[in-house]
Amino acid sequence: MNTPIYERALGSDFARLQPELQAYFSLAPGSGHYGVGEGVFDVVGCRQAWLRPLLRLTAGEQAFFPEYGEGVRFRIENHAHLDPFGRSSLTARREIFFPGTTRLFHDTTSFDDSRTRPGLVDYVGRFRRLVTDLNLSVTPEGRLRGVSEASRLFLGPLRIPLPAALDAKAYAEQWWEPQDGGRHRIQVKVIQPQLGLVLVYAGHFDYRLEPYPAGGTAPGYLPGYARPDGWESRV
């Protein structure tokens, strides 16, 4: 099915999104194009200095990072594709250009229709070991809101559901800002009940579509540099 995964998840509510958001979330496998966003985060990273040494230990997962900055440039690429298990997916690869270092933060969002309630499942990090369900909604202004639900961790054959007291929830909102010529805006907060605000990023970016090189029109095509170090079929 070539219907974009966000349209499948939102159903008729997809038409309530701002037109610019509909265009942003309309990438589908086999389109021959990928999306490129470039902009600036007004704030990005972990504001709590005492928590940063712990995040430094997990930086290799390319999901969380210990830096914090303001006015930090970033780049995002969106690739729509079929994952190795045939699920329609969207892989996002983010580069965050902190002074002195560049952090990668990436994930793959897949549409899972094997459950009683089909919807989006997000696989986070270079090994895609942290998995969460996404609950989407559209605001009266046409913005997209997303909240992560129950999370679980896959370690080899183990499937470890994270209890509510340990689970971190992500709250995201994306919209089109027509002022100053128009641009996309996004804000995300990751909150853990015991630790508080673990990660925040908010900023603006311009977005465009770029063509894949020859051979990039197959539905399963994903450039090598955007592929994770591991795939996970479980939900």
Per-residue pLDDT tens digits for 150-203: 899 999 999 999 887 778 899 999 999 998 789 999 999 999 988 899 999 999
When divided into structural domains, the chain yields a total of: 1
Task: Give pLDDT tens digits for 65-103.
Answer: 999 999 999 999 999 999 999 999 999 999 999 999 999
**CATH code at position 151:** 2.40.128.20
Question: Is residue 27 assigned to a domain?
Answer: yes
Mean pLDDT of the region 119-133: 95
- Domain assignment of residue 51, given as a range: 5-207
pLDDT confidence band for 143 (50 / 70 / 90): very high
- Over 60: is that where the pLDDT of 1 sits? no
| Residues whose CB falls within 8 Å of the CB of residue 136, separated by 6 or more in sequence, listed in order | 6, 9, 10, 120, 144, 145, 146
Q: How many CA atoms lie within 13 A of 150 on its CB side?
A: 7
Question: Is residue 224 assigned to a domain?
Answer: no
pLDDT at 73: 98
Question: Is residue 220 assigned to a domain?
Answer: no
User: How far is it, in rounded angstroms, from Cα 6 to Cα 59?
Assistant: 29
Question: Is residue 218 assigned to a domain?
Answer: no
Question: Is residue 231 assigned to a domain?
Answer: no
pTM exceeding 0.75: yes
Question: Is residue 123 assigned to a domain?
Answer: yes
- Over 70: is that where the pLDDT of 230 sits? yes
pLDDT confidence band for 45 (50 / 70 / 90): very high
Q: Could you tell me the two tokens for 183?
A: 């641009």
User: How far is it, in rounded angstroms, from Cα 95 to Cα 105?
Assistant: 7
Q: CB neighbours (10 Å) of residue 108? A: 26
Q: Which one of 31-45, 47-61, 152-166 scores highest in mean pLDDT?
A: 31-45
Question: Which has more confidence, 51 or 166?
Answer: 51
- Over 90: is that where the pLDDT of 21 sits? yes
Question: Is residue 235 assigned to a domain?
Answer: no
